[in-house]
Amino acid sequence: MPRSTRHDPETTVRRAAHLFWERGYHACSLKQLETALDMRPGSIYAAFGSKESLFRAALMAYYEQLHQGMTQVLASHERVLDGLAAYLRQLAVEATMQPDNEEAAPVPACMMVKTLLEATVDTPGLEDTVNDLFDRIERDLTTTLETARDQGELAADVDCARLARLWQAQIMGLRTFAQRRVDAEVVTLLAEDMIQAMPVT
Amino acid sequence: MPRSTRHDPETTVRRAAHLFWERGYHACSLKQLETALDMRPGSIYAAFGSKESLFRAALMAYYEQLHQGMTQVLASHERVLDGLAAYLRQLAVEATMQPDNEEAAPVPACMMVKTLLEATVDTPGLEDTVNDLFDRIERDLTTTLETARDQGELAADVDCARLARLWQAQIMGLRTFAQRRVDAEVVTLLAEDMIQAMPVT
DNA sequence: ACTGTATTTGAGCGATCACTCAAGTTATAA
DNA sequence: TTATAACTTGAGTGATCGCTCAAATACAGT
């Protein structure tokens, strides 16, 4: 008997993620979300419950996409450190192309980082969620590096958790820097300098 | 004949900076500012004109403090690269102590970075201001490095602008990473790993 | 003490905020 | 075809937003 949904939940969340990613949580009004999702407030609240719940769903979707992209690049390189270098180069490219369609990044900076810096004590749900996602990435990268170490790619005494966090901080720094009004080449050169600086052990 | 001001402008701006730094631009309401400044809306608007103007004044004050702190650390070390390493260590320390008084940092992350990521097309004044401040820091650091290079501390072929941006990105990465819920030691180790990674040329 | 002026006050402005819900709509099962 | 349940609508909720301004206040010069 039930009626099927008019809106595909995945598409809805993806569109919300795009707007939240571009403008941040507080600067996104429900009016703007209604327009972006082509849904009226009643539908939005029936489907997601609150603006914060919708944001969390959007952030999770963003994370999934990010994680998948990173995993793909790492998997396509023999050595993990080569994969990380390639990933940093890819981020530099993505950060320096202007957003031409709705699939591309609306801004250079990472939505997770933007959320990390925008969350306050008034939005504990956002803090918890974003911290959990950063933990996941750190653990995932640590495990990947440990596998590489056990296979002899890295020296046996390398602290993979520290190395993972060093790379994570490079990614944060690169994409945040790219949010500045700078030429594309500056971002590209920064990525190369970061890659050059990272330990090759 | 005129009446003198009851509020010291510098103190007022410093208090506003503290609140804006902690909560960001959009999450700060005028009600909260009224409490923090102990001023009523009429006084605030007579003195600063708008919330955005007050924020820009606060951001400028933050920058001045930041610039002064960095300059002091750099000046107290013979070699510039040693000074930058010391500055990174100082940031790690500051980022990992809980804010006990109103002088201390309310959050680990940099207010300029938070502003850079929070600004949108709706707040062009913030984008312009924060980009100008990042440019100033980059130029200042570039000049400092060039002086060091000309004095033989760095190799003659070093691109000081690139090196300055690499260090700026490290600072961004460190303080943004420190906003995560992580142990103090993790931030300290990250700073050490960054210092280790930076070119010694 | 008195006057003049810069500063401060706080009630209140229209606009917008996130959100609700009764009514309408539509796809599916009987 | 009809009944039913899920979905969607959109006017409207009280609260809060950034901000204004006429009146009150307090200091400096006479």
**Whole-angstrom Cα distance, residue B133 to residue B79?**
25
Q: What is the DSSP string of B116-180?
A: HHH--TT-HHHHHHHHHHHHHHHHHHHHHHHHHHHTTSS-TT--HHHHHHHHHHHHHHHHHHTTS
Please report the ipTM that was assigned to this predicted complex.
0.96
Q: Measured at the alpha carbon of residue B172, what is the angle toward residues A175 and B105, in degrees to the nearest 5? A: 140
Picking from B117, B170, B193, the nearest residue to A117 by CB comes out as B117
Are A162 and B190 within 8 A, CB to CB? Answer: yes
Q: Does strand D come within 7 Å of the CB of B30?
A: yes
From the CA atom positions of chain B, what is the Rg in Å? 19
Which of A137, A180, A185 would you mutate first to test chain B, the one with the most B CBs within 10 A? A180
Closest nucleotide to B3 by C1' from CA? D27
In tens, the pLDDT along A60-87 reads 999 999 999 999 999 999 999 999 999 9
Surface of A (148-167) touching B: CB under 8 A = 162-163, 165-166
Q: Give the pLDDT confidence score for residue A22 in this predicted structure.
A: 98
Report the greatest alpha carbon distance in chain B. Answer: 63
The nucleotide lying nearest B48 (C-alpha to C1') is D19
- CB-CB under 8 Å, B193 with A197: no
What residue in B sits closest to A186 (Cα-Cα)?
B162
CB-strand contact A3/C, under 7 Å: yes
Give the residue among B158, B197, B110 at the shortest CA–CA distance from A177: B110
- Indicate yes or no: strand D within 7 A of the C-beta of A36: no
Tokens of A143: 């495990």
At B77 the three-state DSSP class reads: coil
Evaluate the CA torsion angle A184, A188, A194, A196 in order and state its sign. Answer: negative
Kindly list the residues from chain B whose CB atom is less than 8 angstroms away from the CB atom of residue A23. 120
Burial B42-57, CB ≥16 within 10 A → b, else e: ebbeebbeebeebbbb
From B64, B42, B53, B46, select the one nearest B16 (Cα to Cα). Answer: B53
User: Which of 131-150 (B) contact A at CB < 8 A?
Assistant: 131, 134
Q: Give chain A's domains with CATH numbers.
A: 61-197 (1.10.357.10)
The pLDDT value recorded for residue B102 is 84
pLDDT tens over chain A, length 201 residues:
567 777 899 999 999 999 999 999 999 999 999 999 999 999 999 999 999 999 999 999 999 999 999 999 999 999 999 999 999 999 999 999 988 888 899 999 999 999 999 999 999 999 999 999 999 999 999 999 999 999 999 999 999 999 999 999 999 999 999 999 999 999 999 999 999 999 997
Q: Where are the beta strands (DSSP E) in A71-201?
A: none
Cβ contact A197–B166 (<8 Å): yes
- Smallest CA-to-CA distance from A81 within A188, A187, A163 is with A163
